[in-house]
Structure formats: C-alpha cells, structure tokens
Amino acid sequence: MAIAKAERLMNLALCLLGTRRPLSKRELRESIEAYVEAFGPEQTSPGSDDAFNRMFERDKDDLRELGLVIETVESLDGEIGYLARRDSNRLPPITLDAEEAAALGLAAKVWQQARLAGAASGALQKLRAAGLPEDVDPYEAHSALEPRIPVHEAAFEPLMLACRDRRPVVFDYRKATAARPETRHVEPWALECWRGHWYLAGFDRDRGAERVFRLSRITGKVRSRGARFTAPVPDVVTVRETVASWAGETADRSALIRLRADAGYPLRAKATAVRELGDGWDELLIPYGHGLDAWLVEFGPDVVVLEPAELRADVVDRLRAVAKG
C-alpha cells in the first residue's frame, strides 16, 4: 500500500474513532488533510465532488476490509453520517497459555542483539498490559533455550527495511577473492541467517541476475534508491540452499588437503577422514561441491590443497588475484 494512501486511511480511521457523533461526508472532506489537499474549496466542482465520493467510498470499504466497524447513521434532517464506535472496535481479551507465552517470550529474546530489541520488549510489555497473566513466566516453559540471532553488521537494519519496502539499494561489496570492494546495485529480496552469518538475496542490476551477498563483506553505508524494482520477486528465495552449495554442502566429490594443526575448525567439522602428519600439519579428506575454492582461500596459509589438481589450481589463482590487488 502506498504511503500516502496508508496515511489517508489512518487519518480517516482516527477521525471516525475519535468522534462522538456521526460525521457527514462534507465534514470529513473538510477535516482530513488528504481530502482537503485533493478536493478543497478552491477545487469544488461537480467533477471533484464525484472524484471525492469515489475515493471516500473506496477508503471506507478498505477500512471495513481491514476490520474497522463503521456505522452509517441517518440524522433527523436526512443527512448521512459515519462513525466507528470504540466499543464495537475493541479487540477481544488476550488469553495466552503457558506455551504461547513462552513462544512470545522467546521471540522477544531472539532479537536481543539487534536494534529491534526495544520493539520486541515493548511488544511483550503491551501484551502483559493487555491481559497476559503476571504469574506466567514467558521463559519458564523453555528455560533451557537461549535463542540468539547475532546481528553485528551495520548493513542489517537498512537492508531489512529495504526488503520490507521493496526499495533498491546501493552498497560497496568486497568478494572473498578481491582486495578492494566494488559498488553493487541490488534489488533486495530476503535476509537469512546461515551458520552464524547473515546473507542477502536479491537481483543484481549490474549483472542482470540473482545474487547472494554476505553482510559481513559489505563495506560502508547501504544507500537507498527511490526507483522501483525492475525484476519480479520470486515466490521462494532459496538463500540457504544457494550459500550451502557455494560452501560445498551439496557434495559430489572429495578433496584432499593439508591443514595446520589447531586451525580451520569448520573444515575439520566437514572432514570424513583426518590423519596427523606431524610437524604441525594434518591431512583431511573433505567432500565438496561448487565454491570450495573460495572458502579455502579464506584460511590463507593454513591450508594447502593436495588433490584434485583443478581445485588446487583454482585456489592458487584466487590467492594470486588477492596478492595482485
């Protein structure tokens, strides 16, 4: 819904909820700023009257569809008025059992490290004020669970808002194999956390294709652009599946590498076989798919690829590209 329309509907709803008597179309037309600007006295004409009536009827229908109970009242002189009585538009009492309260409490704790923490805590307080029993501990039912979604990247909040509002963004992004960042123009679709890292999926305008970006590699500020999306947003955005394939999760072959002792624990977790070589090195057999070369580069001198030869060549090429930069 456009911001202007949402604001107009909100003002109309507040006006109907705040009145003690039915308000006529004329009074609403003269009281609500959006109507005044579009259909003010200086624009009075049969055409503007018809346009206002059409807009008002659409707005009234939209509010009713959203759940607002609007009454139509005819006065003694035959004039039609409108109001939304507060007693007809009150929410029913909120009743939560222990499990439901625990779920809400856990949801509030999930965002503890993000700027959403204040909103989450405030929502929980409002639920208590609206009827959540004081003797129900929202954490007691699942006291062993301590959910966390770490959000340390400054890019998270502006990208979350851009995904919500469908606004294109611009940011500088440094790939794992690049020494310097480059500017990317992206239509953001979805954010997802995978293995402790946040990723953004979206349409890369410069490359004309879908891309996934790791937030920790975004440098500088995320800038919003006012233009609309140029590519359709898919119904399902497979962020985790894409990142998993890049990390070699969809394995169809194996690599033999040397890994420095007491290093590369993520690699050790993937290994199907580990053999101590001595002199501070181990030998690992790792199943992998697409993208293992980029991942191995991140471990720098702690990793040496033994087999296959094409993987070793890809890692060497990437390291040389970083060194040249």
Same domain, 261 and 319: yes
pLDDT band for 288, please (50, 70, 90 cuts): confident
Same domain, 124 and 78: no
Number of structural domains (the chain) is: 4
- Choosing from 197, 230, 246, the residue where a domain stops is 246
Same domain, 184 and 242: yes
What CATH code is carried by the domain that includes residue 43?
Answer: 1.10.10
Residue 147, domain member (yes or no): no
pLDDT band for 187, please (50, 70, 90 cuts): very high
With a cut of 80, say whether residue 195 has pLDDT above it.
no
Same domain, 277 and 221: no
Same domain, 239 and 201: yes
**pLDDT for 109:** 58
With a cut of 90, say whether residue 102 has pLDDT above it.
no
With contact defined as beta carbons under 8 Å apart, do 120 and 108 qualify?
yes
Mean pLDDT to the nearest integer, 48-58:
88
Question: The tokens of 44 are what?
Answer: 């009075």
Mean pLDDT to the nearest integer, 225-245:
78
For residue 216, give the nearest of 301, 159, 264 by alpha carbon: 159
With a cut of 70, say whether residue 249 has pLDDT above it.
no
3-state helix/strand/coil string of the chain: CCHHHHHHHHHHHHHHHHCCCCEEHHHHHHHCHHHHHHHCHHHCCHHHHHHHHHHHHHHHHHHHHCCCCCEEEECCCCCEEEECCHHHCCCCCCCCCHHHHHHHHHHHHHCCCCCCHHHHHHHHHHHHHCCCCCCCCCCHHHCCCCCCCCCCCCCHHHHHHHHHHCCCEEEEECCCCCCCCEEEEEEEEEEEEECCEEEEEEEECCCCEEEEEEHHHEEEEEEECCCCCCCCCCCCCCHHHHHHHHCCCCCCEEEEEEEECCCCHHHHHHCCEEEEEECCEEEEEEEECCCHHHHHHCCHHHEEEEECHHHHHHHHHHHHHHHHC
Taking only the tens place, the pLDDT of each residue in 117-134 is: 555 556 656 655 555 555
Give the Cα separation of 325 and 323 in Å (integer): 5
Residue 318, domain member (yes or no): yes
**pLDDT for 149:** 55
Residue 82, domain member (yes or no): yes
Residue 150, domain member (yes or no): no
Domain region containing 56? 3-88
Taking only the tens place, the pLDDT of each residue in 304-323 is: 999 999 889 988 888 887 77
Residue 93, domain member (yes or no): no
Residue with tokens 């002189």: 77
Give the Cα separation of 188 and 303 in Å (integer): 34
Same domain, 163 and 237: yes
Give the Cα separation of 181 and 113 in Å (integer): 27
Burial class (CB in 10 A: 0-12, 13-18, 19+), 29: buried
**pLDDT for 140:** 47
Question: The tokens of 268 are what?
Answer: 């050790």
Same domain, 10 and 30: yes
pTM: 0.43
